[in-house]
Amino acid sequence: MEVQNQNQIIEIKIKKPVKEIEIINIDPWKYNALRSFVESSDRETYEWNQGIKERNFVIFEKERKWKLKIRVKHELSELEINGEIRPIFAEFTDIQDYLIFWISYNAKNESWHLENIGDGFEINSDLRNKAVISNVPYARLIRLSEIVAKLCRFADFPFCP
């Protein structure tokens, strides 16, 4: 019997349901700031877990990495109530203030949105099936639900569980 060097293909059948993940490629500087944000410790003693109040905002900042600015209180205008304008309740930037994403509210249909990542997403949709990635060493998928969960550790937004 003669053995030839051939590529062997082994295929495993999955028995459980499988969902496809929508993968959004983003710039490396955005990815690095987001990864730092979701992987940063929640320990209260770290400076990025201690907000600084600035008028109607609280700002959390991880030095040389990212900044999270949260609007504490906002009275909706008539345009906002009609859904013509969406007020912004949180902004996430890199340390040089380049905007990475923001959280807005549509009062007309009472929905919250994660914007500026891909085409933007309604927060109460299934964000576990959407993730960002970039061409950086040791990159991993960061699910949008992971970003929202981390936001909820900083403030009690209406969309938080």
**pLDDT tens-digit readout, 97-124:** 999 999 999 999 999 999 999 888 999 7
Q: Which tokens hold the place of 142?
A: 């960061």
Q: How far apart are CA 62 and CA 102, in angstroms?
A: 17
Domain positions in the chain:
22-154
**The predicted structure's pLDDT at residue 1:** 46
pLDDT band at 7 (very low <50, low <70, confident <90, very high): confident
**pLDDT tens-digit readout, 61-88:** 999 999 999 999 999 999 999 999 999 9
Please tell me the pTM assigned to this model. Answer: 0.88
Q: How far apart are CA 122 and CA 97, in angstroms?
A: 24
